[in-house]
Structure 1
Amino acid sequence: MTQTTTALVTGANKGIGYAVAAGLAARGLAVVLGSRDRDRGERAAARLRAELAGKPEVRAVVLDVTDPATIAAAAASLDRLDVLVNNAGVSGPVGLTPAVTPPEVLREVFETNVVGVLMVTNAMLPLLRRSPAARIVNVSSGVGSLRHHTDPAHYLAALPASATYPPSKTALNSLTVQYAKELRADGILVNAAAPGACATDFTKDLPFAITRTAADGAAVIVRLATLGPDGPTGGFHDDEGPVPW
């Protein structure tokens, strides 16, 4: 790796993660694409290098956010890290209400969406603490907003109840606030982003059409990943600004 500002994006071989990697690379950052599958990660990195005519530096690393061994290996492969985007996530089964959700299903979703973020972030903190302007962005969702779910005027209040994906994103938002509190003294800005529902593999099974692109969703993440020194920390943001907790 060079001494160029470096970003690691988890779950970056496709969808919003890939669009975030592309957005950061277009701004001149060296980008490391984290992917559970080595071949898919390498193909994504090659595609991005081709799109950007080989500049800046783009490479892939095997990274399963639920596997401590791959997390440790990914951290050891980096010389520096300035930006961490915790994008990898799972939705869990669609249509399960809390009353019929097996506990193992809940554990699986939280293992990726919350515990995985903690494990990756903690493994990368020694590198981030050496950066002059480190940024951490946790990719959350508007469905993590308790205010939205309890506001009769908001469309989320009318959606079926779920014990998995929405609670995992609410927990991720809380974890984001706690990291922001801890890392404020280190000058590390930590925020959660709500990219909105985008037309990706992640949303392909939803029963309604989505026209928002992965690049549209990535924009707020890229913005938070490249904040200046006076930027916010401990916040939850979408395209329009702060999202209510």
Structure 2
Amino acid sequence: MADMESWGFGKFGEFTSKTHSEPYEATDPSLVKLPQPFVVCVVGASRGIGAGIATSYAKAGPTGLVLAARTVPGLEETAALCRKINPKVEIEIVPCDIINPEDVANLADKTKAKFGGRLDVVVVNSGVSGPIEPKVTTTDPKDFQNAINVNYVGTFLSAKYLIPLLLSTEGGAKAFMAVSTLAVMIIRGPFANSTYTVSKAAQLKLMEKIHEEYSGEGLAAFSVHPGAVWTEMNASHTPEAFKPFFADSPDLCGSWCVWLTKDGSQKHWLSGRLVSASWDVDEVDAKKDEIVEKDLLKFKLVY
């Protein structure tokens, strides 16, 4: 995409000189041994990137997985994949509409009951793009409201009901993650719109706020761009001509999530920031001092 910089991306996608389209040795979850016990909740785990996150954690050896989404058959398929990878893992399937407060509260209650209150990691993957309309005046209000509800309000509800479990887990990883997108920086071009990009930008600011509120209590709030992955959501609203640009593995994001959380608080210096799963993790680690000192990878007012 030669015009990405002119669309508003800047050089964010080139933050590391080396990029990846699939898991590699440094992020291979099958080479990880998570501490025991270790419980992960994936919201939006029925397919695509969410299923890839769940199976990535299954490879790393957690004691428990909570899989949530609206479609139970999809969750059962993901659970079967996870059990095939890791027959010892305990799995709780919870039907959940992320925009319904009662559903998300029930998800927290089910998680607490199943695993005795333990919860180490939450990954909010649920998202919706809606039709790509280039102008506010041509955007359907229902599509706009739906994007705000799923991408922003849903993340708020997940934080409200699940963060207390993360904070109360003694010795836990205390990681709250949202699958974000580099599209939050798009201001023009064929993907610019007032539904997906703006609602995901609101989600990113919410994640920064969560970091500011709870980092002092040991919580990390990571926003992770999953790479350019061709999903059912993309297929519904993206022109077929753009499909070749969506060449990243649906497992890429999951491998990064495991990398961020496998060693407790060692990656908490990336909390409150937007990172990309396509970046080379060794180069990211090498930039730690620069990222922290300059407070990089955040939305800021330039003046």
Q: TM-score, with normalisation over the residues of structure 2?
A: 0.71
In structure 2, the residue corresponding to 1:214 is in which secondary structure?
A: coil
Gaps of 5+ in 1: 151-156
Counterpart AA for 1:159:
P
Identical-pair percentage: 28
Counterpart AA for 1:83:
V
Moved over 6 A (4+): none
Report the CA distance between 1:136 and its aligned residue: 0.7
Name the CA shift for 1:9/1:53 in 2 (closer, same or farther; >3 Å). closer
Name the CA shift for 1:197/1:243 in 2 (closer, same or farther; >3 Å). farther
Name the CA shift for 1:127/1:100 in 2 (closer, same or farther; >3 Å). same
Name the CA shift for 1:223/1:202 in 2 (closer, same or farther; >3 Å). farther
Residues 173-212 of structure 1: CA deviation (Å, up to 9, x unaligned)? 1001000000111101111011122022122242212221
Report the CA distance between 1:17 and its aligned residue: 0.5
Superposed, 1:143-162 pairs within 5 Å as 143-145=183-185, 149=186, 157-162=188-193
Report the CA distance between 1:227 and its aligned residue: 5.1
Name the CA shift for 1:24/1:94 in 2 (closer, same or farther; >3 Å). same
Residues 125-176 of structure 1: CA deviation (Å, up to 9, x unaligned)? 221111223101111101012xxx36xxxxxx43353110000111111001
Whole-Å Cα distance in 2 between the matches of residues 225 and 110 of structure 1? Answer: 28
Whole-Å Cα distance in 1 between the matches of residues 263 and 148 of structure 2? Answer: 28
Q: 2:148 maps to which residue?
A: 110
In structure 2, the residue corresponding to 1:204 is in which secondary structure?
A: helix
Whole-Å Cα distance in 1 between the matches of residues 208 and 297 of structure 2? Answer: 13
Whole-Å Cα distance in 1 between the matches of residues 120 and 254 of structure 2? Answer: 18
Gaps of 5+ in 2: 1-35, 285-295
Aligned length: 233
Among 214, 221, 236, the alignment partner of 2:250 is: 214
Whole-Å Cα distance in 1 between the matches of residues 197 and 128 of structure 2? Answer: 11
Q: 1:86 maps to which residue?
A: 124
Whole-Å Cα distance in 2 between the matches of residues 28 and 183 of structure 1? Answer: 27
Counterpart AA for 2:78:
A
Name the CA shift for 1:236/1:68 in 2 (closer, same or farther; >3 Å). same
Among 29, 32, 38, the alignment partner of 2:72 is: 38
Matched, 1:196 2:196: no
Name the CA shift for 1:226/1:161 in 2 (closer, same or farther; >3 Å). same
Indicate if the aligned counterparts of 1:64 and 1:70 stay in contact, CA closer than 8 A. Answer: yes
Counterpart AA for 1:124:
L
Whole-Å Cα distance in 1 between the matches of residues 231 and 129 of structure 2? Answer: 13
Q: 1:14 maps to which residue?
A: 47
Residues 18-48 of structure 1: CA deviation (Å, up to 9, x unaligned)? 1001111111122111111223222321232
In structure 2, the residue corresponding to 1:24 is in which secondary structure?
A: helix
Give the structure, 1 or 2, with the largest relative contact order (CA under 8 Å, sep 6 or more): 2
Matched, 1:57 2:90: yes
Whole-Å Cα distance in 1 between the matches of residues 261 and 129 of structure 2? Answer: 23
Among 170, 174, 182, the alignment partner of 1:134 is: 174
Indicate if the aligned counterparts of 2:55 and 2:81 stay in contact, CA closer than 8 A. Answer: no
Name the CA shift for 1:141/1:15 in 2 (closer, same or farther; >3 Å). same
Whole-Å Cα distance in 2 between the matches of residues 227 and 109 of structure 1? Answer: 34
